Structure 1
């Protein structure tokens, strides 16, 4: 809750600073004089920017179960399931969080953690991961996912997404209104015209691409931190290094787009700036240099 309040306050503060800067540059006066209510636009941008991100977070657990076909282990039916549940319980206790739901799904090697609250999260592993790695390596992967939960990464990434969404919505409409007024309309017509709609559409694409790079950068930093968190929970960096090396030689299991960033690994994107996960070599090097 504290993290949510701080991020919301930060976003409101940024919006306030933006308003001051726009006013100082005369942009606010120009736009307001020509029919754009900056205050209402800020409120609109905040609502639009955060609504989708927060809603996605709130439904993340049921959506993850449905989209992957994950089966929650309510009562372990094999020695592997019993070991999996006990291992997650031990790691959660060390991390100081409540026991997450533990699930298994069919697929190539991967694992993920999700959920709106760190004390009611979901940790899921694929059959490919369990079959292709040693227990020590699987434990390291589980430590990585538990570290994500303990660090509140699902909430943090949602709020970062909300912040950048807010900027995209706000700036696209400011630019759209200014260009529409200056280029496409005469001065006595205050209604947004076709120029506004076209400019907003184009700007949302351009600003959205830039926003995606920002979110991806934050996601990569959270991966480094979760790797280090696993090493700390296990009291040894070597299992996580071995797990990453093993994963680097495997074809990662593809996850639904909504939870791809939450996986232990992901297929490289068409550009490093848009990748949610750092290259395995960088992750291993970061662990080796961990003090």
Structure 2
């Protein structure tokens, strides 16, 4: 079945990463670290790494596999299978047209009730995905702008952004769990289990924050790619107009999207705060517009 292709690719990627780690970690432990006077030989074993990978990639894999179901559960949404209005025809027709052009299975098309103009795409693979738009997007954007936003989301689907982000998140989670488990084991072997447990929790929190910065940086890079895809499909002027329309609504409503939003990684808007942008999944609007203006299509 087609949906199994995305899962299969994820599993293959995980296996390749584990093989790479199983080769590089012993080299780092037995060769590189001793050169700097750091000897942790005997304190680290591959079984710890395997358990960390099971936790790290397991959680990411489950999130990806059930991403569509979780998104629908969080929203008051309805699926469009037969368009019943001009707006629904624009949404459904645009997604269908792009899917046919790309020779991929048409994603599920959903509309969810929300005043903010937004959209997202999710799913385990490009042939098993969904695209959802808010009622606010339909109410605040013109037809060509809505189509540009849909093309942006289809860019995420076709580029495999959900899969790529999941693999990176799994890898980062593995390192977080691995470091925490190693610290706990290291102190337990020295009869300081309580200290090791407390320290591992602190380290896990700190490393998780650092990992989130890496994952969100990667997510922001993927947004530029999706914008470029939309520009190639419907022209960069439409995508620029869509971003400006969304930005005007945000400014008018004095809304600042939070990176803690359960759907923040899926939405089209970003955070412009100089510090908080490190934890934002989307670049500031002005950067995206400037990137599109430089684009030759």
TM exceeding 0.5: yes
Q: Match of 1:185?
A: none
Show the counterpart of 2:294. Answer: 289
* Unmatched segments (≥5 aa) in structure 2: 1-5
Within the candidate set 99, 102, 107, 1:92 is matched to 99
TM-score under structure 1 length normalisation: 0.88
Of stretches 126-135 and 264-273 in structure 1, the one that deviates more from structure 2 is 264-273
Q: What corresponds to 2:3 in structure 1?
A: none
Cα distance 1:191–1:97, how it changes in 2: closer, same or farther (>3 A)? Answer: farther
- Output the CA distance in 1 between the equivalents of 2:119 and 2:146: 9
Q: How far does residue 9 in structure 1 lie from its aligned partner after superposition?
A: 1.0
Give the superposition deviation at 1:272.
Answer: 1.6
Show the counterpart of 1:13: 20
Q: Secondary structure at the match of 2:245?
A: helix
1:223 shift after superposition: 0.3
CA gap 1:271/1:12 in 2 versus in 1, 3 angstroms: farther
Q: Distance in 1 between matches of 2:75 and 2:130?
A: 13
Partner of 2:132: 124
- Deviation digits for residues 92-113 of structure 1, max 9, x if unmatched? 2223321111111110210000
Task: Find out whether 1:159 has 2:163 as its counterpart.
Answer: no
Q: CA deviation at 1:6?
A: 3.9
Aligned to 1:81: 88
Query: Structure 2: how far apart are the matches of 1:194 and 1:253?
Result: 41
Matching of residues 232-251 of structure 1 within 5 Å: 232-234=232-234, 236-251=235-250
Pick aligned residue for 2:76 from 48, 51, 69: 69
- Once the two structures are TM-superposed, the CA of residue 199 in structure 1 deviates from its matched residue by 1.4
Describe the shift of the 1:149–1:287 C-alpha distance in structure 2 as closer, same or farther (beyond 3 A): same
The aligned counterpart of 1:271 is 276
- Contact preservation (8 Å) 2:90, 2:147: no
Q: C-alpha root-mean-square deviation of aligned residues, in Å?
A: 2.4
Higher relative contact order (CA 8 A, sep 6+): 1
Decide which of 48, 51, 62 is 1:44's aligned counterpart.
51
**TM-score of the two chains, using structure 2 as the length reference:** 0.86
- 8 Å Cα contact 1:31-1:177 kept in structure 2: no
CA distance in 1, matches of 2:256, 2:157: 21
